[in-house]
Amino acid sequence: MYTTPKKLLSDGFSNAKTKKNDLKTFILYLAPYNQNSKKINICPKASKGCAASCLFSAGRGAMSSVILSRTNKTEYLLNDKKTFIEQLAKEILTKVKTAKKKGYKVAFRLNGTSDLDFVYMLKKYASLDIETIKENAVFYDYTKILGKVKKYIKHPNYKLTFSRAEDNETETLEALKLGANVSAVFANNLPKSYKGFKVLDGDKSDDIMINAKNVILGLQAKGEEKKDKSGFVIN
């Protein structure tokens, strides 16, 4: 069961990292992995390590309004995809309209806590081709799906960063070879380079990935990640 939420997008100002973005940013947060009544995995390439940190946070705040709202949105998407995507497209276009009027550009991160192909779904279910709004909107995401990186590597306003995990070394190297950015979590201070690629501080802001080219976005281990033994966090 779910109720139709008034809004799907959250203001990036509520997130410690997106708060530091230069661009005004909106994020869509769902309940990650298989945290839904249908047990559908909305992060199909999640590793044990990343899912463990995500699910721990979800478990800890199981009754919090944040988790309830994310779960409700996920149930909405899984039960009425078309209406959900139509509502999402409407919200995006409203933000873009305001940005256009005021003369700025907005950023959207639709996979705040999921790994789905919203660019495809927006086109299919709501006839919204995000290329048509590239003057005032840029979309970005982290993904663990190499196929998505390949599909969108040349897209004019959808920037994907491949997320390195303990079980995707080959895909990580392939993503770097393709020219994509890769994010990696480090236990201690960030190294200058990793796998022969320059490391930038990915914690500085979330939208750093929009302009960065073929680098490692190094993230410092936080919270549960500090206890990681899976290899998700690089020592």
Q: How far is the CB of 230 from ligand SF4 (least distance, A)?
A: 12
Q: Does 54 bind ligand SF4 (CB under 6 A)?
A: yes
Q: Are strands 181-186 and 106-109 parallel, antiparallel or unpaired?
A: unpaired
Q: What is the C-alpha to C-alpha distance for residues 76 and 93, in angstroms, rounded to an integer?
A: 20
Concatenating the DSSP letter of every residue in 175-191 gives: HHHHT-EEEEEESSSPP
DSSP state of 164: P
Structure tokens at 178: 């393709």
Q: Does 50 bind ligand SF4 (CB under 6 A)?
A: yes
Stretch that binds ligand SF4, among 49-57, 101-109, 129-137, 151-159 (CB under 6 A): 49-57
Q: How far is the CB of 86 from ligand SF4 (least distance, A)?
A: 24
Q: Which residue from 29, 33, 108, 194 is in contact with ligand SF4, where contact means CB under 6 A?
A: 33
Torsion of CA 159, 217, 42, 12, to 10 degrees: -70
Q: Which residue from 8, 9, 26, 32 is in contact with ligand SF4, where contact means CB under 6 A?
A: 32
Q: What is the C-alpha to C-alpha distance for residues 107 and 79, in angstroms, rounded to an integer?
A: 27
Stretch that binds ligand SF4, among 14-22, 42-50, 173-181, 201-209 (CB under 6 A): 42-50
Q: Does 70 bind ligand SF4 (CB under 6 A)?
A: no
Q: Does 51 bind ligand SF4 (CB under 6 A)?
A: yes
The residues in 141-170 that bind ligand SF4, with binding defined as CB under 6 A, are 144
Residue 54 CB neighbour total at 10 angstroms: 18
Binding residues for ligand SF4, rule: CB under 6 A, are 32-33, 43, 46, 50-51, 54, 113-115, 144
